[in-house]
Amino acid sequence: MTSALMPTYARQPVAFSHGEGVWLFDTEGRRYLDTTAGIAVCGLGHANPVVAEAIADQARTLVHTSNLYQIPLQEALADALRDASGMDLCFFGNSGAEANEAAIKLARMYGHKRKNIDVPTIIVMENSFHGRTLATLTATGNKKIQEGFEPLVQGFVRVPYDDIAAIEKVAAENPNIVAILVEPIQGESGVRMAKNGFGYLEQLRAVCDKHDWLLMLDEIQTGNGRTGKYFAYQHTSIMPDVVTTAKGLGNGFPIGACMVRGKADDLFGPGNHGTTYGGTPLGCRAALTTIRELQKGPIENARVMGERIKAGFLKNLGDLGVTVEGAGLMMGVVLPRPCTELVARARDAGVLLIVSAENRIRLLPPLIINAEEADLLVEKISALVRTFLAEGAAA
Ligand SMILES: Cc1ncc(COP(=O)(O)O)c(C=O)c1O
């Protein structure tokens, strides 16, 4: 029988029956070291027992009511995120794209309400990824993702990542700019970091202050401990005006959040935004439990293990021209030549990994990875890369 699924994903020939920590087990009983964590989602590992118990208990108690009513667990989750982020207010949706939709709407409201701008325009970056809805795919800096879906949404201007002069040029030419939407580290395009690391965020903050724009950080992938701080901007002393997050927020339970602070606080009122499933008791219990568990150690572990893994790769592969980019457990291992075939080879060797931008191995393991597992990850991937590069040299 042919599949009844729309063929929107080029799936690999493997299915998993269960997981435990950094390990996934396929339906044939083979074990894999998972360096993807469901693409930066399961920070606390697969089948985390504390999150599983919280979800089961909440499912037995109350799954969903409606945003027509008070939802104490939603309030509690917003409080926890406020404490973790230093932001003021929170809106909950179900995914990263939805969180970014909220941010885009906020920027437009800011333009109309505060700046009397009819076509509020957001600066976005080349090589960025912000989601697959119409507005977020327009914001995304990847033509392949946009192709076939024209007309795209108006109100976006694109500049190269890590290029403040390009932003200043747009500012001089376009009086309609109201905000910058940017990933602190670009994830989907292969873990790309600005030359001066998180210092780029400080430069962006200064530009936004100068022009009275909103600084909107897409922390959908970098958030929830991934880079070794709860949010990536916490590696600096700046505060953004809008932050979006999702992925690791529910450890696999679908939930996203858009947070605001300061001048973005009073842009939305009743009726401006909403979604049926946003902030259900079940979703909020899952996320609240995830945040509490992340704060007990995995975030610091991400920093320590990230350094250990990076050092391991540089030691094993540095002589072959391999470099490592990123922070914490969001890492791009950059090879001197395209390496997409490593995905299948690694899988055969019992390791799940992602290759982006043809020559970047993207590592996003669970944040609870221990030293032994981290060393195994480095050892296994280094061996694969060494053989692969030697073949290239011989050819
Ligand atoms: C930085 C960033 N923004 C937005 C998204 C979209 O999130 P979702 O797939 O949950 O809609 C992603 C997903 O990969 C992402 O990495």
Kindly state the average pLDDT of the residues 35-54.
98
DSSP string, 223-275: TTTTTSSSSGGGGSS---SEEEE-GGGGTTS--EEEEE-GGGTTS--TTS---
Domains in the chain, CATH or no CATH each:
16-40+297-394 (3.90.1150.10), 50-294 (3.40.640.10)
216 Cβ partners below 8 Å, 6+ apart? 103, 106, 107, 122, 179, 180, 181, 182, 240, 241, 242, 243, 244
Q: How much is the pLDDT for 395? A: 76
Q: At 125, is the secondary structure helix, strand, or coil? A: strand
Instruction: Locate 8 and state its tokens.
Output: 């929107």
Average pLDDT, the chain: 97
Kindly state the average pLDDT of the residues 190-216.
97
Ligand 1 nearest-atom number relative to CA 247: 10
Is this model's pTM higher than 0.95 or not?
yes
Q: How much is the pLDDT for 1? A: 79
**Cα 98 to ligand 1 centre (Å):** 9
Ligand 1 pocket check for 219: Cβ under 6 Å: no
**Cα 210 to ligand 1 centre (Å):** 29
Confidence of residue 392 (pLDDT cuts 50, 70, 90): confident
Ligand 1 pocket check for 326: Cβ under 6 Å: no
Ligand 1 nearest-atom number relative to CA 186: 1
Ligand 1 nearest-atom number relative to CA 187: 16
Q: How much is the pLDDT for 394? A: 83
Q: Is the predicted pLDDT of residue 239 greater than 80, yes or no?
A: yes
Gap between the Cα atoms of 339 and 121, Å rounded: 38
Q: At 127, is the secondary structure helix, strand, or coil? A: coil
Ligand 1 pocket check for 220: Cβ under 6 Å: yes
Ligand 1 pocket check for 128: Cβ under 6 Å: no
**Cα 386 to ligand 1 centre (Å):** 32
Gap between the Cα atoms of 135 and 356, Å rounded: 23
Confidence of residue 104 (pLDDT cuts 50, 70, 90): very high
Residues 222, 329, 11, 244: what is their CA dihedral angle, to the nearest 10 degrees? Answer: -10
**Cα 95 to ligand 1 centre (Å):** 8
Q: What share of the chain is helix, strand, coil (3-state, %, to 5)?
A: 40, 20, 40
> What whole-number percentage of the chain has pLDDT above 70?
100
**Cα 283 to ligand 1 centre (Å):** 18
342 Cβ partners below 8 Å, 6+ apart? 353, 355, 361, 384, 385, 388
**Cα 241 to ligand 1 centre (Å):** 19
Q: Give per-residue pLDDT as tens, 257-293.
A: 999 999 999 999 999 999 999 999 999 999 999 999 9
**Cα 317 to ligand 1 centre (Å):** 30
Query: Which of 220, 227, 245 is the pocket-test mutation for ligand 1 (most atoms within 8 Å of CB)?
Result: 220
Q: Is the Cβ–Cβ distance between 37 and 364 less than 8 Å?
A: yes
